[in-house]
Every structure is written in C-alpha cells, then in structure tokens.
Amino acid sequence: MADTIIGREAEREILRQRIESNAPELIAIYGRRRIGKTFLVRQYFNDTFSFYSTGIYQGSMKEQLGEFRRQLEHYSGHKWKVAKNWFDAFAQLREYLESLDGNKPIIVFLDEFPWMDTQKSRFIKAFEYFWNSWGATNNRLKLIVCGSATTWMRENVLSEKGGLYNRTTRSIYLAPFTLHETEQYLISRGIKWNRYQIAECYMILGGTPLYLQMLERNQSITQNVDNLFFVQNAPLAHEYDFLFRSLFNEAIVHRQIVETLASKVVGMTRMEIIAAAKIEDGGLLTKALRNLTDCDFIRQYTAFGKSEYGTVYQLTDLFSLFHLRYVKGYRGQDKHHWQNMVDSPSRRAWSGYSFEQLCLHHIQQIKQKLGISGVQSDVYAWKGKGGQIDLLIDRRDQTINLCEMKFSQGEFEITKQYDKHLRERAESFRSAVKTRKALHQTFVTTYGVKKNMYSGNMQTEVRLDDLFAE
C-alpha cells in the first residue's frame, strides 16, 4: 500500500476491511470532481489491479468499448474480438477473470463509471447482469466503481430501484479535505504557510486536492490566486463551468440554484428559490437540491424553532462563492487583480462571510474545542427582530452556544456598542423561542478575542488553530 495518501483514514479502513472480507464486494465511490477519488484508489492499491478501465468524457459507445477492450488485452495478454455491445464486453471480462488462478482477491476498478453509460448503450443493464449473474457469487471479486457524476451514481448505483438495489456492499462519499488535511497536504508539497494563510487559501479553493496541487511553493497565496484565476489563460478561470457539466445531468438547474443562493448569503427557503430563480416546483428541483447537498455545495438546515417546512438552503461551497463573486464576468487585464484588492471593502466583506462558511465545514472541531463532542447536539441558524445568528449549537445538556464567527488579522475587539448588540440579540432570541436553556456567547475567531471590560461576557471561544484539529 502506498503511504503518500494524505488523510482519508476512514476511507482506507473501509477499503481494507472489504478487500480482506471472504465475500464478493461491490464498492461505490463517489464525490465531486477533482476531490481525489481516483488518486485514493490507485495509490491505495499501488496500481496493482486485476483489471482497470476508465470512461471517456463524452466518448461514443464505440470509443468506450474500444478503450475497455484495450485494457482487457493489456491485463490478459490476449487479443479479443471487438465487442458489439456491453453484454459482450462484460462476458469477455468474466471469461478473463475466471482464468485467474489462486486465492488472492480479484480487484477490478472501473473509473469514471457514469461516462461509460452512453445513450442507448444499455450499459447499466449489462453491468447489472454481469454482477448479479456472476460477480455476486465470486467471493474473490472486489469490484470498485467510481464516478463524479453524482446524479448518475445516485440513480443507477445507489438508488433504491433497479437491478443494483441493495447490491453495493459499501458506498464511500469522498468529501473535501479538512483544514488539518489541507495543512498536511501543503506541508507534503513543501509549501510553508502559516495557518492564517492556509485558511485564506481554503476560503478560495476549498479542500479540493487537485486545486491545491496547482499551488506554487515559491509564491505567496495572493500571487497563486492571481495566477490561478486572473492572468491570461488562468487554469481555473473556467473550472466552475466544467465542474457542473461533469457532475450533474441537469447542470442548468443546479447552476441556477447555486447562483440564486449566492445572491442571498443568509440562505433561502425552497419557495424563495423557486420565485427568485423561476424554477418550476417538482421532482427535478428536489433532486437538484439533494444532489447539491450531497456534494457539499449547499447546506440544508432548519431555522431554530421552525418545522421542516422552514428548511433553509445556503450556499457553502467556497470555490463557487469565490468564483461567483470575483471570477465570473471578470474581463480585466490586471494580472495582479487579487493583490490589488488586498484592503478593499469587497474583499473584507467576502473574507468575513467565507470564514463563516469555513467554520460551518468544521463543526466537529468547534464541538471538540468546546468539550461537547460526546454531548448530543443539533446545529441551527436563527433570524429574528433582534438580528441573525448563523450558528447555534443546541445541546442536550440544557445549553445553547450562540456562535459569532469573525475573521481578522489580529485579536478581535468587542466594543461597547457590539457588546450591547450581543446582549440585546440574546434576549431577543430567548424571548422569541421561549427557551430556558443557558445561552453561551461563543466566539470563533482567527487569533482570539482581545481582553477588555466587555470580553468577560463571552463564555467560550474557539480560535483558528482549534479548527485545524484532526
């Protein structure tokens, strides 16, 4: 096994258990584009597969079958007839795999699985037959299918309908890196930034490994951002468009939702999205919202004190937030665009909001610092006449943390006016929701809260360093 994989301990343990099992395994790995699915599998197995093939983006059925046959010849060392369809192709794969002697696991990796399913190819039917008629009876077979097209993976592999229902023995959703994993990855590449700079990087690129791989270690974070987004032919200038096309079948609807939510940072209800984006209510919208939630583009939460009908959707994908704010529609010729915005009001406003989203991606680390990892709790937001609270942690131990998230270059100072606002908002919240629980003012900041006559009204604090916990 390769030791160059950063993080992913839980996923590696799942692979280990399934490969060592005495039963046939069908493992589905999915997650957004560029997140490292292929890298994880290939590095874990050190490219020692019994068979490996990958789909071709927008390739024809003939091209997909041709690549599949080339891989079959590569692994088997034999020539094979040109398969007329996928039923023939999987029959050939079965014939080859049956010829493998010994007791070692037969590891088959089909990458970019959804791309193999071209129109009218009956690919999924052929695969179902291959698995149900033979694969599911071979205890040595460990078949891994992997894909970025979340809609397709959900409907055809993870769905409760169809021939593969209940057939996958394990599904793995590969999430973006955490701050801890991002730091470890940057260190492995010789990039020595402080945690403030790493947080800034995370607020722009998210925890997407391939984007992080594009960073140059001899450049500052600001120089890297200019080179990735704003110079001529910048490599990530058009990534947003391709990201949606490769992930979702109905990319137009998904983009409409994301771009609508980007215009209202506090989030929107389903009916507000329908009205603002002019999207028809129905199953297509439900599916798109679910897919976007599954892929960490948006979060879905219930406002405190509301029923499920008060569900709010909020855009939390940091890469999309940055793209829509600064890259989309950019027509300038300033190759130092980001550097020249270093102290602009726009950049300060963006960094404040993006830091809030970064915190929402690290709720477990916040709970760990607060010492409540083992306490049952729910996360909410609240908006009332007294203001808005973007993060509430409602705990079973009769306590609610009212969290303030502040991104600053030094210690955050609570002024007399701000202290008054916090106290009035807390009382407004208590009155509105009629709770008897203790309310703890909690600050999540980059460098902590400056000690003064008002900081004593804060019960708990979390610093940026705490968000880097494993």
Q: Tokens for 2?
A: 């390769």
Give how far Cα 418 sits from Cα of 345, 404, 425, Å.
Answer: 20, 11, 10
Average pLDDT over residues 395-417: 95
SS3 for 131-149 is: HHHCHHHCCCEEEEEEECC
What is the pLDDT, as a whole number, of residue 3? 47
In this predicted structure, which of 13-17, 348-352, 382-386, 461-465 has the lowest mean pLDDT? Answer: 382-386
Question: For the segment 271-301, what is each residue's pLDDT rounded down to a tens digit?
Answer: 999 999 999 999 889 989 988 988 889 988 8
Q: Residues, the chain, total?
A: 470
What is the pLDDT, as a whole number, of residue 1? 37
Instruction: Name the pLDDT band for 160 (thresholds 50, 70, 90).
Output: low
Average pLDDT over residues 96-112: 96
What is the pLDDT, as a whole number, of residue 177? 95
Q: Tokens for 300?
A: 């879905």
Sign of the CA dihedral 103, 107, 108, 113?
A: positive
What is the pLDDT, as a whole number, of residue 218? 94
In this predicted structure, which of 238-242, 357-361, 366-370 has the lowest mean pLDDT? Answer: 238-242
Domains and CATH numbers, the chain: 9-173 (3.40.50.300), 179-237+330-355 (no CATH), 241-322 (1.10.10.10), 362-467 (3.40.1350.10)
The distance from CA 34 to its chain's CA centroid, rounded to whole angstroms, is 10
Residues pairing with 51 in the sheet: 108
Give how far Cα 138 sits from Cα of 21, 131, 133, 352, Å.
Answer: 12, 10, 10, 54
Question: For the segment 430-459, what is each residue's pLDDT rounded down to a tens digit?
Answer: 999 999 999 999 999 999 999 999 999 999
- In 3D space, the residue among 336, 299, 339, 381 whose CA is nearest the CA of residue 200 turns out to be 339
Q: Tokens for 74?
A: 């590569």
Q: What is the mean pLDDT of the chain?
A: 92
Reading across the β-sheet that carries 268-269, which strands appear in turn? 268-269, 311-315, 298-302
Average pLDDT over residues 315-319: 93
Other residues' Cβ atoms within 10 Å of the Cβ of residue 382: 22
Percent of the chain clearing pLDDT 70 (strictly above): 97
Helix (H) or strand (E) holding 445: strand 438-445
